[in-house]
Amino acid sequence: MREYLKFYIDGEWVDPAVPAQVDVINPATEAVAGVISMGSARDADRAVMAARKAFAGYSQTSRADRIELLQNILGKYQERFAEIAAAITEEMGAPGWLAMQAQAAIGVGHLMTGIEVLKNYKFEELRGSTLIAHEPIGVCAFITPWNWPINQIACKVVPAIATGCTMVLKPSEIAPFSAILWAEVMHAAGVPAGVFNLVNGDGPTVGAALSSHPEVDMVSFTGSTRAGIEVAKNAAPTVKRVHQELGGKSPNIVLDDADLEVAVAGGVKSVMTNSGQSCNAPTRMLVPAAKMEAAKAIAKAAAEATTVGSPDGNAAMGPVVSETQWTKIQGLIQKGIDEGATLVTGGTGRPEGLDKGYYVKPTIFADVSNDMTIAREEIFGPVLAMLPYQSEEQAVAIANDTVYGLAAYIQGDAEHARKVARTLRAGQVAINYAAPDMMAPFGGYKQSGNGREWGDHAFTDFLETKAILGWGAAEAAE
């Protein structure tokens, strides 16, 4: 059993100010996998002040220094890669293949991308006699979730390190193991004391203390829209920058000229990956009404071919993260049944043969209308809602009829899909299940958040803009 009772503050592993512990549950077995300490406002303050002290020196480091530091972090991360993947499987239930090929691998991707962006990023430019300088914003607070734990740590920490910021990380207390290993990587890589700090704890305590702290210049939060609103409220009195990547209810428009088999089966697979626990999952599939019956059959076959089982084996899908999430998902599946959607396959309860662990049946609903609960609320589980449409204009209207705007998907002729893509109110649109692009900005419209992560766009939120008038004709600094 894992035991992580210290926090990483000012380059050292230190005891919490007030002893308090919580068990971490393995979602596949429902057994205790480890124990961590839970922090307080005093721990948060200590970490923030360490970051503030470190900022004066670290913000003045050179581009070359920061490239070398990121390369060191990458090397140490790769040394611990298998261990980090195993921790992710244990803490949140990702199948071993997914933990290795995606969950842990994306940490390498963000580090490599950050290094390449930093090599050529333009921090200064001369406009006439005015110098426009982009400088590190300061001390950053990061509050990250459990569903893609390393991804959401790396896509914040890497650009912060690259731009000269210092930081305090509060990972999810539900899945904290990989974050502890990330902190060990940072220490081994020689990150200067105080530049990176980690305090475990819950949102109402440590999260609130960080987002309201007067010495924090920016808070970056990934999680639910409900929690994001609380973060913004806490941050408002000190007028700090707030960056948020929140919920989604992403539409997936199957155009009339799409290959129906490829489009529908691919959509089902995309929803079921990571047990549906992805904020950008294409959970609303819009299908031409005349093709709905054929689409139902394809979706049913794809869902029923999705193997569910222990994340230590070769199953396509493991458990969801916790009993709380399992219960919420069960309630929303029942809501779909009660509101009259057609249950194509799946439903409530655990899959056959699995009597322990937070496993959910791959579930497909059809004949869904966009006013039903399962079309409005983010389920965050392996549940797909299929909605019919009569015209392309209606499909676009339904797709945009949501408070969210994180992602959208379109299947069909490429030129046709490009035209439709421009009509969708979402921060990222994927045509024909395009592969992820590490340089593509990630973030949402509307209640899916503000700001962007990934690639060069990620640097922007960690920089302040300063205009120095009268600089003259001299060359801008590097």
Yes or no: say if 195 and 161 are a contact pair by the CB < 8 Å rule: yes
Tokens representing 338 are 């009660």
pLDDT in tens, 78-116: 999 999 999 999 999 999 999 999 999 999 999 999 999
**72, two tokens:** 């060191």
H helices of 342-433, where? 373-376, 392-400, 414-421
Contacts from 328-335 at CB under 8 Å and sequence distance 24+? 328/379, 328/380, 328/381, 329/360, 329/379, 329/380, 329/381, 329/383, 330/360, 332/373, 332/374, 332/377, 332/379, 332/381, 332/383, 333/363, 333/374, 333/379, 333/383, 335/373, 335/374
What string of DSSP letters covers 257-280?
TS-HHHHHHHHHHHHHGGGG--TT
For the domain with range 2-246+446-468, which CATH number is right: 3.40.605.10, 3.30.470.20, 3.30.479.10, 3.90.79.10? 3.40.605.10
Give pLDDT, residue 476: 56
**What does the alpha-carbon distance between residue 309 and residue 314 come to, in Å, rounded to a whole number?**
8
The pLDDT assigned to 230 comes to 96
What is the DSSP secondary structure assignment for residue 475, as one 8-state letter?
P
Cite the residue boundaries of each domain of the chain with CATH code 3.40.309.10: 251-431
pLDDT at 473: 75
- The structure tokens listed for 324 are 């709380």
Which residue, 406, 397, 399, 396, is CA-closest to 385?
399
Tokens at 136, concatenated: 């590190």
Domain boundaries for CATH 3.40.605.10 within the chain: 2-246+446-468
**CA nearest to 408, candidates 423, 430, 393, 388:** 430
**Residue showing tokens 């005891």:** 15
Contact present, 161 and 190 (Cβ < 8 Å): no
Residues annotated as part of the active site: 245, 279
Which residues in 237-252 are b (16+ Cβ under 10 Å) and which e? eeebbbbbbbbbbbbb
Consecutive H or E run containing 134: strand 130-136
Residue 351 per-residue DSSP state: P
> Which ranges in 190-322 belong to alpha helices (H)?
208-212, 225-235, 260-272, 292-304
Which token pair is 226?
């409900």
Place of tokens 């000012």: 10
Q: Are 252 and 396 in contact (CB under 8 A)?
A: no
In the CATH hierarchy, which fold is given to the domain comprising 251-431? Answer: Aldehyde Dehydrogenase; Chain A, domain 2 (3.40.309)
The DSSP line for 17-58 is SS--EEEEE-TTT-SEEEEEE---HHHHHHHHHHHHHHHHHH
pLDDT, position 478:
56
The length of the chain, given as a count of residues: 478
Distance between CA atoms of residues 132 and 467, nearest Å: 5
Q: What are phi and psi of 431, to 5 degrees?
A: -100, 125
Which residues in the chain show pLDDT less than 70? Answer: 474-478
